[in-house]
Structure 1
Amino acid sequence: MRETGAGEEDIFAELCEARRRDVPYGRVLSSMCTNPHPVAIRAHQEFVNTNLGDPKLFPGTAAIERRCIGLIGELLHLPDATGYISTGGTESNIQALRTAIQLKHTDRHRANIVVPESAHYSFEKASQMLGIAIRRAPLDDLLRADPSEMAALIDEDTIALVAVAGTTEFGQIDPIEEIGKLAQEQALYLHVDAAFGGFVIPFMEKPAKFDFEVPGVQSITIDPHKMGLSTIPSGGLLYRSESLLKLLEINAQYLTSMVQTSLAGTRSGASAASAYAVMQYLGREGYRQIVATCMKNTRSLQEQLEDLGMEPVIEPVMNIVTVGAGDPVGLRKRLAEKNWYVSTTVHPCALRMVVMPHVTEEVIGAFVTDLKKVL
């Protein structure tokens, strides 16, 4: 640190130069994040110095978080759901498994969870942090969780099942109704990771059942900072009942609230305000239009890739396109040389593109033009 402070203009010249080196979203087809809505940015700025970690000092901000959870609960077929605004899917998934451990009262060193092979890498982090084993069930031919394979992995030390609504690699939706029945039959906790799909599936023409509408589902991860168009970081963790959230309570004596349930101690109220503001501003109709446009552009991208001889791994279920490409990793590198950023999947290996709101018809046209040059 400097002995004396630098001038504001010098500081921001350095910051702006660093920011210019970042890749603009208009060249990014690999990310599940996008430009936040202007309303979300304005709300974020208004609440930037609030701390939901001590809600009695910020009762107005805490009320906004409760309203935000209420709006998300309505979206997920449970208006009286409880929960909180987290930093994102990783924190929410870790917290859901903390809840399952507390609920089961089992020996943590023997405990295991059963997840599909398509589960997000955050469950690996949860395994390391919580000291529980992961059992990964094979997928079916459509790259969805196979309930029969999951059932075969359950034993007396299993504490939870996990299903995914919008897998990271392929955007696939697991058969959550079937997995919910399995969870009820086995008296197991079921957590649904809908970090990506939570703000897509409800606004599709024929939405799949994935949320609290399914009786066995106990908690859901959903990220407003993805297709919800909130600012980063804005995640969500919702529970079917308040008793589940209370399992996470720990004493925090020096705070005015005395207890905390979140993983992070200090939590910015800006995340909750941002998510609340954009949901109120767009409403269901606004989100339906955004999702419809993304799906239209998804189909357009897929058709143009098929014209180049690239066949889809699966027909897009959501706004993610995956295609065979001979050497996907090499092609990804050649595209990066032209300042286009896509990603590759692992099982099977394919080229992956996420059609977020910033991936417009114009972006797709420019991308395909450069793709032809590098093929």
Structure 2
Amino acid sequence: MDEEGLPCEDVLALLREYLRSDKTFASGKILGSMCTQPHRFASAVYASHLEKNLGDPGLFPGTAQLEREVVHMLGRLHSHPGVVGHIVSGGTEANILALWAARNLALEAGEKERNQVVVQKGGHVSLDKAANMLGLELVRVERNERYQFDTTALEEKISEHTLAVVGVAGTTDLGVIDPVQELSEVVAEHNIYLHVDAAFGGMVTPFMEDLGYDVPKYDFRLSGVCSMTVDPHKMGMAPIPSGGILFRGREYWDAIRTKVPYLGGGEAIYSTITCTRPGASVVATWALFKHMGRRGYRETVRRIMDMTKTFLDGLSDLDWLELVTHPMMNIVGVRPSTRRESDVQKLASLLRQRGWSISSFPTHIRIVFMPHLQEKHVQEFLDDLKSLSHFFGS
């Protein structure tokens, strides 16, 4: 830190220089992110409530009440308004909290041998982090031909050591929804904790169902589901950080709670990893949900699914490209028909040279159609793909 400070104008000039290399959602060139430009109204609300700290609910009881209402709204969206939970830093923290609860419940029941968590190979890296932090073993199983959790492989892996199973609604690489109904039936036979990571899909698929899309059940309609991760700061357009953890009942929440005697008259209880938490995230998310309503989100999802269809229609004219699997939501995986990893990486490199921000995996590139995009951006991307055909022998 310098001894003397600078005038605000000079600091802002320095910031502009540093941030010049950052990508912007407004450019329409970001096609690989599972986040988006926060809604303008939510951003304004967030900026007006920066002092709110959910780590001290005694000082901010109104903000704490808003958090309960946001959790209730997310619960209603997923067929169980009686959920308990929190708005947290993101899907990673939410997944850690879920497995923390599962572990503690097993320990309370005297089941110390339960230390394995089973997930499909496309499960998020946060599950590796959670297992490492909690002293658990993560077991990744094969996927079926649709890149979903292979339930046959699951049944082969279940043993007396199985603590939890994690299904995914919107995998990171392909946006696939696991057959959670089948997972729910399997775990019920063995008294195993079932968590659903719907960090991305949780703010997409309820509105797809409203629009008539055939969406596999994965939420609290299934009796085996104990907890869910749902992130408003992804397709919900809330400001970052606004992740969400939902527990079916208070017994799961209680398993990880810590009482803080010096706050809230000794009544402050934490069931999150962090103590200090930005109340502005909760205030902004509550305001955005009230502003958008189910209809507003439904129309947003209609628009992004229309863009997804535009892309798929355009892709049919590019015989040198193919889908990895037919998309289940607004995440699409494509690859050169050669299927060579070197060609996948060459495609990713050529697109980045043209200014596109996309995600690349060894097997494909991932495109995520988010609310910051417009139809013209999709067409521009298709045009650039057409211009690259000669690099791949077409």
2:364 paired residue among 350, 364, 367: 350
Look up the equivalent residue of 1:150 and give its one-letter code: L
Once the two structures are overlaid, the 10-residue window that deviates more, 183-192 or 43-52, is: 43-52
Partner of residue 370, structure 1: 384
CA distance in 1, matches of 2:374, 2:106: 47
- Do the aligned partners of 1:199 and 1:227 also contact (CA within 8 Å) in 2? yes
How high is the TM-score relative to the length of structure 1?
0.96
Q: Superposition RMSD on alpha carbons, in Å?
A: 1.4
1:98 paired residue among 81, 91, 100: 100
2:329 paired residue among 314, 318, 329: 318
> Is the aligned partner of 1:82 residue 2:84?
yes
Give SS of 2:328's match: coil
Look up the equivalent residue of 2:132 and give its one-letter code: Q
How many pairs align? 373
Gaps in structure 1 of 5+ consecutive residues = none
Look up the equivalent residue of 1:17 and give its one-letter code: E
How high is the TM-score relative to the length of structure 2?
0.92
1:238 paired residue among 238, 246, 255: 246
CA distance in 2, matches of 1:124, 1:225: 22
CA distance in 2, matches of 1:230, 1:123: 24
Instruction: Give the CA deviation at 1:108.
Output: 6.2
Partner of residue 392, structure 2: none
> Is the aligned partner of 1:143 residue 2:147?
yes
CA distance in 1, matches of 2:272, 2:258: 9
Q: Percent identity?
A: 40
Change (3 A) 1:108 1:358: farther
CA distance in 2, matches of 1:365, 1:235: 32
Instruction: Give the CA deviation at 1:253.
Output: 2.7
1:308 paired residue among 299, 302, 318: 318
Give SS of 2:323's match: coil
- Do the aligned partners of 2:114 and 2:160 also contact (CA within 8 Å) in 1? no
CA distance in 2, matches of 1:185, 1:369: 52
Look up the equivalent residue of 1:200 and give its one-letter code: V
1:58 paired residue among 53, 57, 60: 60
CA distance in 2, matches of 1:293, 1:259: 41
Partner of residue 67, structure 1: 69
Partner of residue 252, structure 1: 260
CA distance in 2, matches of 1:252, 1:157: 33
1:334 paired residue among 313, 338, 350: 350
Give SS of 2:164's match: strand
Instruction: Give the CA deviation at 1:305.
Output: 2.1
Give SS of 1:167's match: coil
Instruction: Give the CA deviation at 1:107.
Output: 6.8
Give SS of 1:118's match: coil
CA distance in 1, matches of 2:179, 2:202: 15
- Do the aligned partners of 1:109 and 1:131 also contact (CA within 8 Å) in 2? no
CA distance in 1, matches of 2:49, 2:104: 33
Partner of residue 179, structure 2: 175
> Which deviations, in whole Å up to 9, do the C-alpha atoms of 1:80-128 show, x marking residues without a partner?
1110001110000011000000011167686111111111010011111
Moved beyond 4 Å, runs of 4+: 106-110
Instruction: Give the CA deviation at 1:138.
Output: 0.7
Partner of residue 265, structure 1: 275
Gaps in structure 2 of 5+ consecutive residues = 390-394
